[in-house]
Structure 1
Amino acid sequence: MSDADHLHELLGLPAVDFQSGTNDSPGPAADAAAWRVSIEPYEDEDRTWEQEFTAFLDEVDPAGVRALIIGQWGESYEERSSYPIGLVIAAAERLTSLEAVFVGDLTSEEAEISWIEQSDVTALLTAFPALVELGVRGGTKLVFPATRHERLRSLTIEAGGLPVEVVRGVLDSELPSLERLDLWLGVSEYGGDADVADLAPLLSGTCFPALHHLGLRNSEVENEIAAAVASAPLVARLRTLDLSCGTLGDEGAAALLEGQPLTHLDALDLHHHFLTEPMERRVTEALEPHGVRVDLSERCEPWGDRGAAGRYVTASE
C-alpha cells in the first residue's frame, strides 16, 4: 500500500497528530494545521476515539479548525466509519470553520486498504455545506448516493476495489464547483466492479463543469481506461491527468499518443507503470517539448513469467 501512507497535508495545511493531554506544550493554532485524530487500539485498549475526539474539541478551538483527518478509530475492520463520522457531525455546530475532511487515514500497518470498513460518507457533505475537500480511504461497505453540494472542490476516494455503485453515485452527483476528482478503482478481487462503460458520463464532459484535474488510478484495466481517455471530450479542458498506480502498459500508452492531443496538459502522471523503455521515450518526446510534466517513475515488471497477466496495481488488499 505504498501510495496510501499517512497524509502529510490536507487543504494545504500540514498534518499534525492531536494527542490529548499535551495542551501545556505550545502547538499550532487551530486554523494552522490539518488535525489528525486517531487512537492506537492495541496500545491503549481503554481509550476510545470518542474520548480522543472529545478531548480534541476541548483542547483545540473547534471554531478555528479548518481541516480534520480521521485516523484509526479502533478496529477499523470491525467498526464502520459511521462511528467517527457521526461524532464529527454531532459537533457540526462547534466546527463552524471546517472546510476539509479525510476519512480513514490508515496505513497498511494499521489496516490494509480493503479492510477499512467505510459507510455513507455523503453525510459529511450534508452536515457541512462549506466543505471544499473530502477524501476517503477504503472501499469496503462504502456508500456514496447521488448528492448535491455547492462548494465541494476536491473529492478523492482511495480503494483497493471501488464498487460500481459508488462510482455511479459520484457521477450522478451535482457538484458544480468540483475541480479535482481522484478515483482509485482497484481490482475486481476486492470489489472493484466498475468498468470503462461506467465512466462514460464522466469522460463525455457532461459532469462537473469546473473539473480540471482527473485521476483514474490504481486500476487493473488501466489500458482500457487510457484508450477511452484518448478520445474523451472531457480531456480537452483538463490541466492535469493521472493514470498512475495501475497496470498501464505499452498498449495503453500508445492509445494515449494516438488519440487527441495531450500537449495542452500541465502534467501527466503515469508513475507505477509497465511501459518499455522505447515507449517511455515516445511519451516523453511527444509531450515534454510542449511543457507537459510527465511522471514515468516506478517502472514495474510483471510477476513471474505471466506477461500482462502478471501486472499489479499499487493498492489492492
Structure 2
Amino acid sequence: MLIHGRLNEFADLPVVDFTEGGVRRNGEALDAPPAGVAWRVRVEQTEGSFGRVFDRFLEVVDPGSVTALVIGWWEYYGGPGDRSDVTAELVAAADRLKNLRSLFVGDVVVEEREISWIPLVDIGPIVTAYPRLERLGLRSGEEPAVEGQRLRPFRGAHLRELWFESGGLPGELVRAVAASELPALERLEMWLGMENYGGDATVADLAPILSGERLPALRHLGLQDSEIQDEIAAAVAQAPIVARLETLALSMGTLSDTGAEALLAGQPLTHLRSLDLHHHYLSEAMEARVRAALPGVRVDLSEGNGHSGDDDDRWVMVSE
C-alpha cells in the first residue's frame, strides 16, 4: 500500500495547509488564517527549509489558537543555515503553542518520500515539552532524522492516543514506548513492518505492553503490519492486557492459520467489541472458525490473500 493522499481531517477538524506559498484549504488560497482548523505545516519540493516556514507560521497564525498541528514534509531544499530538525523546532515553540493538544508528524505522501524513507523523529522531547498533549502520531522509517539520535522512554501524563505508521518500526522505539509512563493512554497502535525496512522489534520487546502494567487505561491495542504476526497473535492470546481491551487489531500483516489457531486456543475474546484482522492469509475454513467463535464481536476479515503456510509468500500491507 502506498500513501498518496494527505489528511483532510485531524482531531475532528478540517486540515488547512501552511507553506511558503501561503494558506490553502483544499488547494485554494485563503486571504486570512481561518479559525477552528487543524494546521498542516510543510515545505514543498521547490521551497526552502522547514525552519523558515515554521517561523512564518508562528508569525501569521496566533500560536495560542492552535490546538491541532500536522507536520508534513520537512526536508530542506535550500543552502547553509536551513533548519529541518522537527523535534528542535517544536520544542523551541512549546511556550507559544501552549494550547496544542493533537500532533501528527509525518503527513508525507509517496510522491515526496516512501514511508520507510521518512526520517524517524524523536518524540520523547516533544512529549516532555508539551505535557498536556492528548493525541500524538508519527509516520516514519528507520533512519533517525538527527545523526546519533537515541530513543528513550518518556512520560505523557495526558496522552490518550498514540500511534506509529511505518514500514519498519525500529525495536528501539518499541522498547522506549513499552518503558514509558502513559497512565491515561486509551489507544496504542503500531505498524511494526518488516525487518528489511528496519522493523526489528521482537515479541519480547512487546512484553511490557502486553502485560498492561504501565497502561492501566488502555482500551484499544493495534499491533499490526508485522511479518511476525503469527508470533504476536500467540503472545496476545495469553497477554493479561487483553481482558481490559474493547478493541484489538492484528491486521495488515502476515497472519496465517497458525496465528489464528493460537488466538482461538487462548483466553476468551468474546468481550471485545471488534477484532480487526484485515489483510490476512487465513484459509476459508479458519475464517469460518473465527467468526463462529466470536458471534457477538465485529470481526474484520476483509482483504484476505488466500491461505499460505509459506512465509515467503506472505507480505505485510505497508513496507517500503
Between the aligned partners of 1:16 and 1:314, the Cα distance in structure 2 is 29
Identify the residue that residue 73 of structure 2 maps to in structure 1. Answer: 72
Identify the residue that residue 40 of structure 2 maps to in structure 1. Answer: 36
Answering whether residue 11 of structure 2 is matched by residue 11 of structure 1, we say yes
Q: 1:214 to 1:60 in 2, by over 3 A?
A: same
Q: 1:271 to 1:260 in 2, by over 3 A?
A: same
3-state SS, counterpart of residue 103 of structure 2: strand
Moved more, 180-189 or 235-244: 180-189
* Superimposed CA distance per residue, residues 224-251 of structure 1 (whole angstroms, 9 cap, x where no aligned partner): 1111111111100001101111001111
Q: 1:237 to 1:306 in 2, by over 3 A?
A: closer
Answering whether residue 214 of structure 2 is matched by residue 207 of structure 1, we say yes
Structural mapping, 1:80-229, within 5 Å: 83-142=85-144, 143-229=150-236
Between the aligned partners of 2:250 and 2:161, the Cα distance in structure 1 is 17
Q: 1:229 to 1:82 in 2, by over 3 A?
A: farther
Q: 1:8 to 1:276 in 2, by over 3 A?
A: farther
CA-CA distance at 1:11 after TM superposition: 2.3
CA-CA distance at 1:211 after TM superposition: 0.8
CA-CA distance at 1:110 after TM superposition: 1.4
Between the aligned partners of 1:4 and 1:123, the Cα distance in structure 2 is 29
Identify the residue that residue 298 of structure 2 maps to in structure 1. Answer: 293
Between the aligned partners of 2:278 and 2:3, the Cα distance in structure 1 is 11
Letter in 2 for 1:34: A
Identify the residue that residue 58 of structure 1 maps to in structure 2. Answer: 59
Letter in 2 for 1:10: F
Identify the residue that residue 316 of structure 1 maps to in structure 2. Answer: 319
1:185 and 1:192 in contact (8 A); partners too: yes
Answering whether residue 27 of structure 2 is matched by residue 25 of structure 1, we say no
* Superimposed CA distance per residue, residues 175-220 of structure 1 (whole angstroms, 9 cap, x where no aligned partner): 1111111111111111211111221121122121111110101100
CA-CA distance at 1:285 after TM superposition: 2.4
**Gap regions ≥5 residues in structure 1:** none
Q: 1:27 to 1:283 in 2, by over 3 A?
A: farther
Between the aligned partners of 1:69 and 1:113, the Cα distance in structure 2 is 16
Letter in 1 for 2:312: A
Report the RMSD for the aligned CA atoms in angstroms: 2.3
* Superimposed CA distance per residue, residues 19-66 of structure 1 (whole angstroms, 9 cap, x where no aligned partner): 45347536641xx2221111221xx24x33223222322232211111
Between the aligned partners of 1:226 and 1:56, the Cα distance in structure 2 is 44
3-state SS, counterpart of residue 234 of structure 1: helix
Between the aligned partners of 1:193 and 1:308, the Cα distance in structure 2 is 16
TM-score, normalised on structure 2? 0.88
Between the aligned partners of 1:35 and 1:209, the Cα distance in structure 2 is 32
1:267 and 1:294 in contact (8 A); partners too: yes
TM-score, normalised on structure 1? 0.88
Letter in 2 for 1:297: S
Q: 1:51 to 1:3 in 2, by over 3 A?
A: closer
Q: 1:278 to 1:171 in 2, by over 3 A?
A: same
Between the aligned partners of 2:266 and 2:8, the Cα distance in structure 1 is 36
Identity of aligned residues (%): 53
1:185 and 1:217 in contact (8 A); partners too: yes
Letter in 2 for 1:316: S
1:82 and 1:120 in contact (8 A); partners too: no
1:160 and 1:192 in contact (8 A); partners too: yes
Between the aligned partners of 1:280 and 1:33, the Cα distance in structure 2 is 42
CA-CA distance at 1:75 after TM superposition: 5.6
**Gap regions ≥5 residues in structure 2:** 24-28, 78-82, 145-149
3-state SS, counterpart of residue 18 of structure 1: strand
1:82 and 1:119 in contact (8 A); partners too: no
Answering whether residue 264 of structure 2 is matched by residue 261 of structure 1, we say no
Letter in 2 for 1:21: G
Letter in 2 for 1:65: V
